[in-house]
Amino acid sequence: MENGWKRAFKDEIYEQFARIGKALSSASRLELLDLMAQRERSVESLARETGMSVANTSRHLQVLKTERLVRRRKEGTRAYYRLADSGVYRAWRAVRTLAESRLPEIEETVERYLSDRDTLEALTPAELQARLDRGAVVVLDVRPVEEYRAGHIPGARSVPVDRIEEHLEALPDDREIVAYCRGPYCVYSDQAVRRLRESGRTARRLTGGLPEWDAEGRPVERSAA
């Protein structure tokens, strides 16, 4: 009887743990979590960003909501979703880090699509912080403005990558410029650095994005909506 009780307990408790694994077992849901790590998003916004239909996006979000990984807020007829808390981002980041360490296909994929990334001379958050402390760098947040307002590195300028040409003349040519975006697999900062270098600036990208900066306990500044 005692052994039967232990077995039932183990079966049930591990089944509960597996619910989280099942929720994270979809590439589409992982991308949704990555986007919501930037800011709260509407279903329609997430659908546009991922190229999924609104109906399919809603189904994936419902799975995440059922397992309490995201929270939903209603505003009229529109629904907005955000990560339930910082632990959800840490879980997604742990999955990503484990995959990077175990799956050589990840590096192969990056090399295939971002073959020149090594030439962009990335800085770590610690290296960027040291330059900021010395006032020796200009930092550009090249994500969409709404994401910048939700949170950004203190002192960073909002220069969305698709508007960088409009800002070139206002950027100094005698100081190093560091661009950052959503995370290690976001290509906005790569695109920005290439254009900045073409214009004669000394530019680098940050290895991660705002979520990684925040997760390391570094200060984050927020703007009024």
Burial (CB count <10 Å: 0-12, 13-18, 19+), residue 53: exposed
Q: Specify the CATH number for the domain of residue 187.
A: 3.40.250.10
Strand partners of residue 47: none
Residue 177 lies in a domain: yes
Same domain, 83 and 141: no
Closest CA to 183 of 62, 84, 100, 115: 100
User: What single DSSP character describes residue 59?
Assistant: H
Q: Which of 64, 181, 192, 193 is catalytic?
A: 181
Rounded distance between C-alpha atoms, residue 120 and residue 223, angstroms: 29
| Whether residue 121 has pLDDT greater than 90 | no
**Which segments of 151-218 does DSSP mark as H helices, in order?**
164-167, 188-198, 210-215
Which tens digit of pLDDT belongs to each residue from 30-83? 999 999 999 999 999 999 999 999 999 999 999 999 999 999 999 999 999 999
Same domain, 144 and 200: yes
pLDDT band at 115 (very low <50, low <70, confident <90, very high): confident
The total number of structural domains in the chain stands at: 2
Rounded distance between C-alpha atoms, residue 14 and residue 50, angstroms: 32
pTM assigned to the model = 0.92
Residue 106 lies in a domain: no
Residue 168 lies in a domain: yes
Same domain, 76 and 124: no
186 counts as catalytic: no
Residue 129 lies in domain = 114-215
Residue 132 lies in a domain: yes
54 residue type, one letter: V
Residue 224 lies in a domain: no
The pLDDT value recorded for residue 224 is 61
pLDDT band at 192 (very low <50, low <70, confident <90, very high): very high
Same domain, 126 and 204: yes
Same domain, 23 and 77: yes
Are 166 and 58 spatial neighbours (Cβ–Cβ below 8 Å)? no
What is the arithmetic mean of pLDDT over 135-162? 96
